[in-house]
Amino acid sequence: MAKAVKLVVGDSLILAGWSRADGSPLQRGIWRCGAASGDLVATDGAWDGTTESWTARVPPSGLGDGSHPVTIVVTTTAGDSAVDTLPVVVHGQPRLSLLISDFNDQTLKTWWASSWYPFLSLDSAAAKVVTDSMRVRTDSGLGSPYLDLKGTIVQPAGLTYPNMLSAAFGVPARFDSTVAALDIVGIDFDLKTSHSSSTGSFQLMTNSTAVTDWDVQVVALPNTKGQWVHQSILFDQLKQGGWGKVVGALDPKILTFIEFRALGAGDVGVALDNVAFLGTRGEPVIGVGSRAKSLPALSLHGHKLSISVEGAWNLRVVGADGRVRERRSGKGPAQWALEPSRGMTWAVLETPGRRTILAVSPSMR
């Protein structure tokens, strides 16, 4: 045993192993971790052979935040013993530790007052990427302001990798002490993407000072087809995407740059909100909403029905007798007053791949 086991506060550690004695039979095995200790339980029910396999459960209460060696001691009837240790690192549950941007002040600023910007992989000859806009947008009455990037990606002939367009921000060098204090382990955000090409894709990309030769660390993001989704990404999910020497897991202390990328030719959209670092120490940031949770596709306010989806939709209002009382279709958010009706009525919203049903009567009157 040598490699450290990483656990989160509240996890139990299950140990399993086997021990062999030369000569006299094994008599007992114990584990110790700080002030906690317990027996290793022989798999066959009794410590009596020269070879025993065993398990042990170190309960969560025995494993506080921090680094703990777990010691295993096995003894024989002759009084011989063998000791082994297992390093265990326990950290807190990832929580929202540092808000980067919620865009609610209607600017593209990060918390350290640098700005988000559109990043083009190739912005020279032949208009390879056209950035139509990157701005803070608010859909009237449908949630807080958010970052909205739209553009057209053109794939130049001869380019061997997909051309791309990103919403990006730089991480200042002084950030390392903050990262250490909060034990930053990931990033959390609301995301809405769209791509006119079925082969288009999206990535979260980071640069750090450890990765050289223009290489980067990436993880795939979904094409959400115009719907808001909540994403929580731990940095150890990121993999090196390219040419550089493999440096292992991203060390957030040396992060320099984060990009939310659209890749491949086509018309693309990347929208972001409530972007925050996840850390395992310190007080959680409260009051950061999630659009994915707070904005249902279909909601009723008084007698006003709100649709908060980005793409095309069809809606029908259906009575308990199955009769359709109202039909509408559109694209993007919409809100209007429903016609009064007797008895139970349901609004049925259909978007590509999804149907949402909401009872809208009799509470509407």
Residue 19 and residue 44 in contact, taking contact as beta carbons nearer than 8 Å: no
Q: Decide whether 228 or 313 has the Cβ nearer to Ca ion.
A: 228
Q: By CB under 5 A, is residue 273 in contact with Ca ion?
A: yes
Nearest distance from C-beta of residue 146 to Ca ion, angstroms: 5
Q: What is the dihedral of CA 262, 252, 189, 195, to 10 degrees?
A: 10
Residue 339 CA to chain centroid, in angstroms? 41
Nearer to Ca ion (CB atom), residue 52 or residue 102: 102
How far apart, in whole angstroms, are the C-alpha atoms of residue 44 and residue 15?
Answer: 16
Which whole-number Å values give the CA distances from 68 to 40, 281, 303, in the listed order?
18, 17, 59
Nearest Cα neighbor of 297 from 231, 197, 200, 224 is 224
Read off the DSSP letter of residue 292: H
When the beta carbons of 189 and 235 are compared against Ca ion, the nearer one is 189
Asked if 188 touches Ca ion (CB under 5 A), the answer is no
The Cα 177–Cα 252 span in angstroms is 11
C-beta separation of 286 from 189 below 8 A: no
Helix (H) or strand (E) holding 182: helix 175-182
> With binding defined as CB under 5 A, does residue 131 bind Ca ion?
no
Per CB under 5 A, 189 contacts Ca ion: no
Q: How far is the CB of 136 from Ca ion (least distance, A)?
A: 8
From 199-207, 272-280, 297-305, 354-362, give the range in contact with Ca ion by CB under 5 A. 272-280
The separation between CA 11 and the C-alpha centre of its own chain, rounded to angstroms, equals 20
**Can residue 144 be called a binding residue for Ca ion (CB under 5 A)?**
yes
> x/- contact string, 79-108, with Ca ion (CB under 5 A)?
-----------------------xxx----
Site for Ca ion contains 138 (CB under 5 A)? no
Region of 72-80, 120-128, 268-276, 280-288 interacting with Ca ion (CB under 5 A): 268-276
Residue nearest to Ca ion (CB): 144
For the bound state, the minimum distance from the C-beta of residue 222 to Ca ion, rounded and expressed in Å, comes to 20
Residue ranges that bind Ca ion, judged by CB under 5 A: 102-104, 144-146, 273
